[in-house]
Amino acid sequence: MKFFIDTANLKDIQEAVELGVLDGVTTNPSLMAKEGIGGVDNVMAHYKRICELVDGDVSAEVIGTTYEEIIREGEELAELHPNIVVKVPMIRDGVKAIKYFSEKGIKTNCTLIFSAGQALLAAKAGATYVSPFVGRLDDIGHDGIQLIEQIVNIFGNYGYPTQVLAASLRHVPHLIQCAEVGADVVTCPLNVITGLLNHPLTDKGLATFLADHKKVNG
């Protein structure tokens, strides 16, 4: 399973890179705004900086919602760096644009997926990734992990190469559950990835080892 970090914060990305487990990055307009990055030129320059840090796919989201806008923005983004994946919303014109991009060899990530039917449409159109939102489904009383499992099974039935990128992960159990049901990729904040390091018995065991070492070595 691939680990992506869901952020536009360069410090967090660098920390994830140094940990040695980072496979890619996902971003969106909200994450860019959180970092105070506005204006087309600034956003484009920031995407380039992210690509320079990461040896893997970097999802960069279009703002447009019409077919023509999505195509224009997507082609501009794809020209920035070979690592760029054009992130397209799950709307009618988005699906049409994914088909266009797939025929042009441009990688895509279909975002805001909340049903298996939406994921199937995106895969049929040739999306590189689909991004079902686990946490947001859980927020409204639906089972986000069940959706991940359903999509994984459907894609497996028909041999779709589209990768299931589990998004909107809130905590470590989400990540582990996604691994259990076969998600190809997870994307989450840095603290969820680093949370995998933690277990009280690890801390207790290490403290014991160090204490015993100190007894005999001073």
Q: Which of the residues are catalytic?
A: 87
Tokens of 19: 């940990």
Q: How far is CA 94 from CA 4, 7, 36, 40, 213, in A?
A: 23, 23, 27, 21, 61
Pairing of strands 57-61, 108-113: unpaired
CA distance 91 to 97: 10
CA atoms in the 13 A half-sphere facing the CB of 59 = 31
Dihedral sign of CA atoms 75, 165, 56, 105 in order: negative
